[in-house]
């Protein structure tokens, strides 16, 4: 049965011990995943840095759009995707450095009008540790010479100087700076407040550690004016997060704030008084180093409203869960909950909103107590839909990937347990309908 208040300790990830790229074997550096390699430029600096960011952070970089990578100096002058990445003039650990190019002439031609990029692994004690390609291995071909083969260590003074054939540094793009983007790790539900069970009047979702990237967990909440008119959010230890809430069928968030979650609860009211179903995403501003439980508990309007140190943002936004996917919605099948008369949503079936024009990540929480088989589909139809479906037990960090590569997708799990399902769809995979549907089947 779900769930014990466990204080699981995960291995602490030290970025300093992860400076060696797996250039020879990792798919991040190879076609078809790497866009530069796919275009025939697999040994260039852009191919290497794109691959290094994907290898460490599972982020697909691009200019103006994902996986669109032109010359190196364009990484600074154009809009690097995803747009949540911060920029600056100071070298930091886990950042991209962009040189603007060397426009001195040699034999009547510019030395290098295209610029150069490298990946900074660490900045420590006055030294910059970085990796790059096609410098010491330089080949004057489209493909280029490939990874230079070792982590370079330069003083800050040397690093900032004008570099022949690369030029002057234009700036830095920070991959692990504080951001509101975090990898999707789990989902919880509060869909039947009159019942005393996990997923009914309380729930837990677990953030997991990722190398330099934040974590996102989500909840679905059914408003009951008598016993669940507001919810409290709690963490075992203090953690800075962004909370984004919206009506279940909306794409843009309707309430967003930064706050420190901890053992002192933070209270959330529904963002839209005309919508009884609320979905919310909670994203760690910095990477978590241990498995981090986040709890949501039903409360009433007579309970104290605990504001905490929240800083409210008035700007609606999308919830970026990295890899250029946007979380859109979450649904629940809490099969041990008491069904509402003529309204089985959240108990034996549910809908979750998805995007038509963007890469979407939609989730469901599934309680198998009275439901060992479910089907996930495009709005309850048998229409074939390209999608990737992953599943895991609610408490696990790793996913059982690609159990289905299209919808409808039928899933069987025995016993009484809780699972998290995530469904990733490409732009325009959902042609007409905008909901994904999950339902218990016999």
Average pLDDT for residues 273-277, to the nearest whole number? 93
Conformational region of residue 48, where left means phi above 0, alpha means psi within -120 to 50, and beta covers everything else: alpha
Q: Which of 146, 174, 202 is the last residue of a domain?
A: 174
Q: Which of 153, 174, 195 is the last residue of a domain?
A: 174
CA-CA-CA-CA torsion for 193, 194, 197, 201, nearest 10 degrees?
Answer: 20
Please report, in angstroms and rounded to a whole number, the separation of the first and last CA atoms in the chain: 22
Judged against a pLDDT cut of 60, whether residue 11 lies above it is answered with no
pLDDT digits 0-9 by tens, 140-184: 898 999 999 999 999 999 999 999 999 999 999 988 544 467 899
Higher pLDDT, 340 or 387: 387
| 330 and 398 inside one domain | yes
* DSSP symbol at 396: -
How far CA 371 is from CA of 85, 109, 329, 441, in Å, comes to 42, 70, 22, 8
Distance CA 62, CA 50 (A): 8
Whether the CB-CB separation of 394 and 2 falls below 8 Å is answered with yes
Q: How confident is the model at residue 71 (pLDDT cuts 50, 70, 90)?
A: confident
| 186 and 47 inside one domain | no
Distance CA 261, CA 242 (A): 10
Report the range of poorest mean pLDDT among 63-72, 233-242, 325-334, 415-424. 63-72
Report the range of poorest mean pLDDT among 35-44, 206-215, 292-301, 327-336. 206-215
| 273 and 402 inside one domain | yes
Instruction: Determine, yes or no, domain membership for 195.
Output: yes
Question: What's the confidence (pLDDT) of residue 252?
Answer: 87
Instruction: Determine, yes or no, domain membership for 224.
Output: yes
Instruction: Determine, yes or no, domain membership for 129.
Output: yes
Question: What's the confidence (pLDDT) of residue 351?
Answer: 97
Distance CA 36, CA 40 (A): 6
Question: What's the confidence (pLDDT) of residue 7?
Answer: 29
Distance CA 364, CA 188 (A): 9
Whether the CB-CB separation of 185 and 397 falls below 8 Å is answered with yes
| 118 and 224 inside one domain | no
* DSSP symbol at 12: P
Distance CA 375, CA 101 (A): 54
Distance CA 301, CA 299 (A): 7
Q: How confident is the model at residue 3 (pLDDT cuts 50, 70, 90)?
A: very low
Higher pLDDT, 315 or 259: 259
Domain span at 25: 18-174
Q: How many domains does the chain have?
A: 2
| 186 and 150 inside one domain | no
CA-CA-CA-CA torsion for 396, 252, 283, 278, nearest 10 degrees?
Answer: -60
| 198 and 110 inside one domain | no
Question: What's the confidence (pLDDT) of residue 15?
Answer: 34
Instruction: Determine, yes or no, domain membership for 2.
Output: no
Instruction: Determine, yes or no, domain membership for 201.
Output: yes
Q: How confident is the model at residue 315 (pLDDT cuts 50, 70, 90)?
A: low
Q: How confident is the model at residue 116 (pLDDT cuts 50, 70, 90)?
A: very high
Question: What's the confidence (pLDDT) of residue 69?
Answer: 67
Question: What's the confidence (pLDDT) of residue 1?
Answer: 43
Q: Which of 155, 174, 193 is the last residue of a domain?
A: 174
Average pLDDT for residues 351-371, to the nearest whole number? 93
Average pLDDT for residues 265-292, to the nearest whole number? 93
What is the residue-averaged pLDDT of the chain?
Answer: 89
Give the contacts of 27 (CB within 8 A, at least 6 positions apart): 33, 34
Q: How confident is the model at residue 67 (pLDDT cuts 50, 70, 90)?
A: low
Q: What is the CATH number of the domain that holds 83?
A: 3.90.1720.10
Average pLDDT for residues 265-287, to the nearest whole number? 93
- Which pTM value belongs to this model? 0.65
Q: Return the residue matching tokens 């011990």.
A: 17
Distance CA 352, CA 101 (A): 48
Question: Closest by alpha carbon to 295, among 223, 234, 360, 230?
Answer: 234
Question: Closest by alpha carbon to 331, among 420, 426, 229, 427?
Answer: 420
Judged against a pLDDT cut of 70, whether residue 242 lies above it is answered with yes
pLDDT digits 0-9 by tens, 180-229: 678 999 999 999 999 999 999 999 999 999 876 789 999 999 999 999 99
Distance CA 245, CA 376 (A): 24
Count of C-beta atoms within a 10 Å radius of residue 416: 14
Question: What's the confidence (pLDDT) of residue 29?
Answer: 96
pLDDT digits 0-9 by tens, 35-61: 999 999 999 999 999 999 988 876 778
| 227 and 134 inside one domain | no
Give the contacts of 319 (CB within 8 A, at least 6 positions apart): 216, 244, 253, 281, 283, 326, 327, 328
Cα torsion angle, 32, 36, 37, 40, sign? positive
| 236 and 143 inside one domain | no
| 110 and 216 inside one domain | no
| 115 and 65 inside one domain | yes
Question: What's the confidence (pLDDT) of residue 57?
Answer: 76
How far CA 359 is from CA of 47, 327, 405, 427, in Å, comes to 23, 9, 15, 5
| 168 and 197 inside one domain | no
Instruction: Determine, yes or no, domain membership for 205.
Output: yes
pLDDT digits 0-9 by tens, 73-86: 999 988 676 666 77
| 116 and 137 inside one domain | yes
Instruction: Determine, yes or no, domain membership for 428.
Output: yes
Convert 363-380 to b/e letters by CB count within 10 Å (16 or more is b): bbbbbbbebbebbbbbbb
Report percent pLDDT > 90 for the chain: 71
Instruction: Determine, yes or no, domain membership for 8.
Output: no
Higher pLDDT, 357 or 394: 394
């Amino acid at each position: 049965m779900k769930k014990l208040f466990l204080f699981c300790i995960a291995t602490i990830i030290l970025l300093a011990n992860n400076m060696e790229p797996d250039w020879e074997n990792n798919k991040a550096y190879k076609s078809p995943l790497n866009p530069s390699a796919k275009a025939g430029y697999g040994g260039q600096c852009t191919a290497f840095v794109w691959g290094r960011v994907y290898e460490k952070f599972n982020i697909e970089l691009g200019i103006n759009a994902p996986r669109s990578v032109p010359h190196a100096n364009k990484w600074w002058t154009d809009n690097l995707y995803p747009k949540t990445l911060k920029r600056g003039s100071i070298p930091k650990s886990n950042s991209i450095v962009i040189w603007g190019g060397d426009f001195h002439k040699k034999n009547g031609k510019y030395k290098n009008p295209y610029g150069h990029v490298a990946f900074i692994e660490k900045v420590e004690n006055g030294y910059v540790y970085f990796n790059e390609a096609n410098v010491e291995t330089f080949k004057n071909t489209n493909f280029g010479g490939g990874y230079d083969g070792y982590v370079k260590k330069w003083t800050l003074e040397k690093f900032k100087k004008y570099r022949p054939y690369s030029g002057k540094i234009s700036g830095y793009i920070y991959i692990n700076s504080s951001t509101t983007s975090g990898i999707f790790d789990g989902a919880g539900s509060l869909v039947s407040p009159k019942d005393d069970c996990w997923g009914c009047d309380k729930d837990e979702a677990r953030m997991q550690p990722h190398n330099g990237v934040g974590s996102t967990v989500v909840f679905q909440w059914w408003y009951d004016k008598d016993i669940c008119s507001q919810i409290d959010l709690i963490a075992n230890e203090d953690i800075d997060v962004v909370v984004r809430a919206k009506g279940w069928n909306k794409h843009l968030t309707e309430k967003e704030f930064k706050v420190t979650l901890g053992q002192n609860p933070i209270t959330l009211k529904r963002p839209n008084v005309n919508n009884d179903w609320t979905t919310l995403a909670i994203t760690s501003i910095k990477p978590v180093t241990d498995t981090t439980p986040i709890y949501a508990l039903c409360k009433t309007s007579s309970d104290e409203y605990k504001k905490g140190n929240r800083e409210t943002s008035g700007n609606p936004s999308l919830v970026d869960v990295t890899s250029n996917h946007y979380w859109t919605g979450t649904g629940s099948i809490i099969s041990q909950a008491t069904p509402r008369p003529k309204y089985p949503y959240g108990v034996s079936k549910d809908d979750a909103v998805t995007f038509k024009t963007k890469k979407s990540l939609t989730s469901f929480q599934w309680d198998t107590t009275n439901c060992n088989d479910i089907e996930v589909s495009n709005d309850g139809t048998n229409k074939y839909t390209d999608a990737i479906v992953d599943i895991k037990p609610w408490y696990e960090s790793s996913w059982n990937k690609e159990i289905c590569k299209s919808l409808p997708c039928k899933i069987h799990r025995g016993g009484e347990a809780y699972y998290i399902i995530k469904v990733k769809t490409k732009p325009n995979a959902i042609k007409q309908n905008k909901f994904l549907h999950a339902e218990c089947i016999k």
